[in-house]
A and B are shown apart, each in its own frame.
Chain A
Amino acid sequence: MGKVKAFGLFWYDFVFGDDPLVAVLVVAALAGTAALSTHTTASWWLLPLVVALALAATLARAVGKKEE
Chain B
Amino acid sequence: MGTAFLLLSVFLACAVEAVEALTIVLAVGLTRGWRSALQGVAAGLLLLAAVVAGLGPALTVLPLKALRLVVGGLLLTFGLQWLRKAVLRASGYKDLRDEAAAYQRGVAAAKTAAASKRSVVEDWYAFTLSFKGVVLEGLEVAFIALTFGANQHDIPLAAVAAVAAVLTVCAAGVAIKAPLARVPENTMKFAVGVMLTGFGTFWGAEGAGAEWPGGDASLPLVLAYVLLVALGAVWVLKRRHAAWAR
A55 near B208 with CB under 8 A, answer: no
Query: Once the chains are docked, how many angstroms separate the CA of A26 from the CA of B205?
Result: 11
B56: Cβ under 8 A from any A Cβ: no
Q: Is the CB of B80 within 8 A of A22?
A: yes
**Proximity string of chain B (69-91) to chain A, C-beta cutoff 8 Å, 1 when within and 0 when not:** 10011101110110110011000
A38 and chain B: residue at smallest CB distance: B209
Size of the B side of the interface (Cβ < 8 Å), in residues, is: 39
The docked-state distance in angstroms from the alpha carbon of A19 to that of B244 is 23
Question: Is A37 a contact partner of B80 (Cβ separation < 8 A)?
Answer: no
Contact of B204 among A15, A47, A63 (CB under 8 A): A47
Q: Decide: A59 and B233 in contact? CB cutoff 8 A.
A: yes
B interface residues with partner A (beta carbon < 8 Å): 69, 72-74, 76-78, 80-81, 83-84, 87-88, 93, 136, 139-140, 143, 197, 201, 204-205, 207-213, 218, 222, 225-226, 229-230, 233, 237, 240, 244
Cβ contact within 8 Å between A51 and B76: yes
- In the bound complex, do residue B209 and residue A43 qualify as a contact, i.e. CB atoms below 8 Å apart? yes
Using known A-B contacts A15-B74, A26-B76, determine if residue A55 contacts B210 with beta carbons closer than 8 Å. Answer: no
Closest 10 CB pairs of A and B: A37-B209, A17-B81, A33-B208, A34-B208, A44-B210, A43-B210, A47-B205, A23-B77, A26-B76, A22-B80
Residue among B201, B207, B209 making CB contact with A51, cutoff 8 Å: B201
Chain A interface size, under 10 / 10 to 19 / 20 to 34 / 35 or more:
35 or more
Q: Which of A28-66 contact B (CB under 8 A)?
A: 29-31, 33-34, 36-38, 41, 43-44, 46-48, 51-52, 54-56, 58-59, 62-63, 66
Given contacts A43-B210, A66-B93, A59 and B237 within 8 Å (CB-CB): yes
Q: When the two chains form their complex, are residues B237 and A63 in contact, meaning their CB atoms are under 8 A apart?
A: yes
B76 contacts across to A, CB distance below 8 A: 26, 47, 51
The CA-CA distance from A59 to B88 in the complex, in Å, is 8
B-side contacts of A54, CB under 8 Å: 80
Asked if residues B210 and A37 are in contact (CB atoms below 8 Å), the reply is: yes
Would you call B229 and A52 a contact (CB within 8 A)?
yes
Q: Which of A14, A22, A38, A44 has the most CB of B within 10 A?
A: A44
Contacts of B84 in A (CB 8 A): 17-19, 22, 55, 58-59, 62
A37 to B77, CA, bound (A): 22
Complex Cα distance A33/B140, Å? 28
CB-nearest residue of chain A relative to B72? A30
Q: For the complex, what is the distance from the CA of A47 to the CA of B202, rounded to whole Å?
A: 9
Q: Is the CB–CB distance between A44 and B136 below 8 Å?
A: no
Q: Which of B140, B207, B229 contacts A55 (CB 8 A)?
A: B229
Interface string of A1-32 (1 = CB under 8 A from B): 00000000010001111110011001101110
Cα A4 to Cα B76 in complex, Å, equals 26
Whether B205 pairs with A33 at a CB distance below 8 angstroms is yes
